[in-house]
Amino acid sequence: MTVRNATRRVSVLALVVGLLGLFGLGSSPVEAAALPVGRPDAIAIGLAHDRGISLSEAQRRLGWQAHAPGVSQRASAALGRSFAGVWIDTADSDRMKIGVTSAAGAGGARTALSAAAATGLSDGVDVVFVKHSMAQLDAANRWLGDRLAAADAGARSSLAVGERTDENAVELDVPAGAALSNAQSALIQAARSRFGDALVMGTYAGQPTPRSCVYPFCDPPLRGGIRITSNGFGCTGAFIAQSRVDSKFYQFTAGHCGQASLGPWATLFTDGSGHLVGPIHHWEWNAGGDEAIMLVNNPVGWQLPSATVEVTAGPNTTADLQYAISSENFSVLGQRICTTGAFLGFSSCGTVTELELTTTYGGVTVNHLGRGSFCGVGGDSGAPMYASHVAFGLQVAGFSECDSIYQGILAAASVLNVNVLNQ
């Protein structure tokens, strides 16, 4: 996508070559993780198919994306208030873009590219000059997010707001074809007046809806992407977690699944026999997030839970019954992201379309969510969000079937005081 107010793009090719020797590879947890070796990554195969490119080119592009969180963290620290975000441009061969305010000039561009080089990224990244800083977008998003719940109160449909670094703006989304309340219309008018070209308007079809309801089952070991049920409710079990206090095993799911039933939650083996996973240990569904963990009652019986996800065959995935999870990270706009929901019938991949999203579903307003073009249906709440063997989040809701919402995994793990189990 083209960034509004962009004045020029600075290619990394000429600058980074001379910078690589000046910076060591970082050891921060947000740096790109080494991918497991072996047969080709199922996500790369799907990307190659979707883009009509070779497998090696798909792996190259996903390699760029693996650096994005580290680039974002380093560029933000180095540029300060001149930093304007990082995103993946799907219209430009999935290249990474670093936004820098125009006032920072050539010096800011060199600083941004130095940050990329410090993560080990030697190509596939460009600088784009823009008008608004990330700090300005964050402030605008917070202002709108703080007022959204009040504006939505009593309305037939909800508003949503999130950050679009690729547009150098905050996006305020309204339901297509639905009548807005007076309070919602007033908030939109106030936002337009207050933020000007730092605000863009968007629409969505349908209504934000949590994806729990009354597919795939796996034999041991316990892994992500399986159907779990409790007291008539159905959700999806996500990544395996381990307590930061006593090393007990847990499985992630959505917080509103925990609110629906504390359990016990159970699943089936492939022979149809029922087996207990365990009760909800901790759940949150509020402004701070939508996440839960259930205690794995019998880890030995599960042959120890596994740091894997079942990737089922779909339009843009190939089957991998034990897709390894090697790390966890935050997502960036435009990146490839996939999910295995237990009720959709297949794994689905899409693009991150919005971040720091605030919206209301199931009567609860939640902040700091992600939005993407992956697909899901009722019962897919809690489904793992992943790409390139990295855990990114938990599917929690959707505006429509292929316009979906997820909770970031780093925030979920922090709130629940657990670590994502890695291989």
| 49 within some domain | no
Work out the average pLDDT over 67-91: 97
Work out the average pLDDT over 226-247: 94
- Find, among 314, 334, 297, the residue nearest to 380 by Cα: 314
Work out the average pLDDT over 39-46: 80
For tokens 């959709």, name the residue.
344
Work out the average pLDDT over 289-313: 93
| 331 within some domain | yes
Same-domain pairing of 187 and 226? no
The number of helix segments (H) and strand segments (E) in the chain equals 9, 26
Within 8 A by CB and 6+ apart from 126, the residues are: 9, 10, 11, 12, 95, 96, 97, 98
Domain final position from 79, 107, 130: 130
Same-domain pairing of 247 and 310? yes
Same-domain pairing of 201 and 215? no
pLDDT of 25 > 80? The answer is no
Extended strands (E) in 152-311: 160-164, 169-175, 199-204, 209-210, 226-230, 233-237, 240-243, 249-253, 265-268, 274-278, 280-286, 289-295, 308-311
- What is the distance between the alpha carbons of residues 247 and 116, in angstroms, rounded to a whole number? 35
Same-domain pairing of 388 and 337? yes
Q: Please, are residues 59 and 44 in contact by the beta-carbon 8 Å criterion?
A: yes
| 60 within some domain | no
Characterize the bridge pairing of strands 384-387 and 199-204.
unpaired
| 174 within some domain | yes
Q: What is the mean pLDDT of the chain?
A: 89
Q: Model confidence over 80-93: pLDDT tens digits? A: 999 999 999 999 99
Same-domain pairing of 184 and 230? no
- The share of the chain scoring above pLDDT 90, in percent, equals 75
Q: Model confidence over 207-232: pLDDT tens digits? A: 888 876 645 678 889 999 999 999 98
Domain final position from 130, 160, 182: 130
- The share of the chain scoring above pLDDT 70, in percent, equals 89
- What is the distance between the alpha carbons of residues 375 and 249, in angstroms, rounded to a whole number? 29
| 62 within some domain | no
pLDDT of 117 > 60? The answer is yes
Q: Please, are residues 137 and 175 in contact by the beta-carbon 8 Å criterion?
A: no
Q: Model confidence over 361-411: pLDDT tens digits? A: 999 999 999 999 999 999 999 999 999 999 999 999 999 999 999 999 999
- Find, among 306, 302, 264, 283, the residue nearest to 417 by Cα: 283
> Range with the lowest mean pLDDT among 16-25, 129-138, 273-282?
16-25
Grade residue 34 by pLDDT with cuts at 50, 70 and 90. Answer: very low
| 369 within some domain | yes
Work out the average pLDDT over 301-307: 89
Domain final position from 109, 130, 151: 130
Within 8 A by CB and 6+ apart from 273, the residues are: none
| 14 within some domain | yes
Same-domain pairing of 359 and 399? yes
In the prediction, which pLDDT does 208 show? Answer: 86
Work out the average pLDDT over 99-114: 97
- Choice between 75 and 156, residue whose per-residue pLDDT is larger: 75
Grade residue 10 by pLDDT with cuts at 50, 70 and 90. Answer: very low
> Range with the lowest mean pLDDT among 175-184, 213-222, 310-319, 350-359?
213-222
Work out the average pLDDT over 9-35: 36
In the prediction, which pLDDT does 31 show? Answer: 54
- Find, among 275, 249, 248, the residue nearest to 264 by Cα: 275
Same-domain pairing of 144 and 228? no
Same-domain pairing of 71 and 17? yes
Domain of 265 in residue numbering reads as: 210-420
In the prediction, which pLDDT does 16 show? Answer: 30
Same-domain pairing of 308 and 389? yes
In the prediction, which pLDDT does 316 show? Answer: 85
Same-domain pairing of 116 and 169? no
In the prediction, which pLDDT does 422 show? Answer: 95
- Choice between 355 and 303, residue whose per-residue pLDDT is larger: 355
In the prediction, which pLDDT does 18 show? Answer: 30
The tally of domains found in the chain comes to 3
- Choice between 239 and 321, residue whose per-residue pLDDT is larger: 239
The CATH number assigned to the domain holding 161 equals 3.30.300.50
Work out the average pLDDT over 338-354: 95
Q: Model confidence over 143-189: pLDDT tens digits? A: 999 999 999 998 989 999 999 999 999 999 999 988 999 999 999 99
DSSP annotation of 317 reads B
Same-domain pairing of 182 and 308? no
Same-domain pairing of 199 and 218? no
The CATH number assigned to the domain holding 363 equals 2.40.10.10
Question: 12-19 vs 105-118: helix axis angle to the nearest 10?
Answer: 60
Alpha helices in 67-168 (DSSP H): 68-79, 105-118, 134-152
| 45 within some domain | no
In the prediction, which pLDDT does 39 show? Answer: 59
Grade residue 32 by pLDDT with cuts at 50, 70 and 90. Answer: low
